[in-house]
Copies of this chain bind each other. A is one copy, B any other.
């Protein structure tokens, strides 16, 4: 038999999905459900935690447990890297993407922090650098309004970006044009990419930064960006709140017996 807390959670989940509880509506308070005979405080609490883990509600002390706004998944396709968006204009690729997706542009949705650090093993490997080599790390926390959605940290080789706007230590939003534009101006035009994605449990720090409910997972994205001659000019690690994103990729079915027309 399903545990009592699970049955209770499923009942509420059903009611939320059916619209019986609208976004913003408040669920009964734990103590009231206890009085109503739904179980002990701990049992009801467990049910509420399950709903929270599914991203259906948000709980906070003092306030209560309210149904969360169900923002549709943000779909990330490779069109967000379109050269026309950052090469010909002065928009940062991610902002252009937001415009293209019909969302308004808001200032200060990105905080940035640039530093020179010893490359973590994964980064060194991606750049083909020896252990202990230094790279520039550009860490951003991206928000949708007030809600943080993901972190994105780009790693660059010093010889590619030294003296450019990328390493400008001034805080605040990214300089005009974004990282790809800066690389382009420095003579490194990006050509192809590799993205690798997987899901995992967030660290406590990440959960706090992204305002994740306990039990929510994150999706980690590794992006390697190459110039036409195969030089790696950027390696980036993104950590996304798993409930808020979907990724889409279009590709030709490969045919290793007939490799014309394919670069790899």
Separation of A243 and B81 alpha carbons in the complex (Å): 28
Q: What are 21 A-B residue pairs whose CB atoms fall within 8 Å in the complex?
A: A55-B201, A83-B253, A83-B254, A83-B256, A84-B256, A84-B257, A88-B257, A190-B253, A192-B251, A193-B252, A194-B249, A194-B250, A195-B249, A196-B247, A197-B197, A197-B246, A197-B247, A198-B242, A200-B242, A217-B217, A217-B242
Question: What is the count of identical protomers in the complex?
Answer: 2
Separation of A239 and B254 alpha carbons in the complex (Å): 23
Separation of A2 and B205 alpha carbons in the complex (Å): 11
A143 at the interface (CB under 8 A from B): no
Asked whether, in the complex, the Cβ of B190 is within 8 Å of the Cβ of A82, the reply is no
Q: Which of B195, B199, B225, B252 contacts A263 (CB 8 A)?
A: B252
CB-defined contacts of A39 to chain B, threshold 8 Å: none
Knowing A249-B251, A254-B79, say if A198 contacts B73 (CB, 8 Å). yes
Most chain B Cβ neighbours within 10 Å, of A82, A198, A200, A247 = A198
Asked whether, in the complex, the Cβ of B53 is within 8 Å of the Cβ of A252, the reply is no
A205 nearest CB across to chain B (Å)? 11
Nearest B residue (CB) for A192: B252
Asked whether, in the complex, the Cβ of A254 is within 8 Å of the Cβ of B197, the reply is no
Number of interface residues of A (CB under 8 A): 51
Question: Which residues of A in the span 183-213 have a Cβ within 8 Å of any Cβ on B?
Answer: 190-201, 204
Separation of A194 and B253 alpha carbons in the complex (Å): 10
A63 at the interface (CB under 8 A from B): no
A224 nearest CB across to chain B (Å)? 9
A115 at the interface (CB under 8 A from B): no
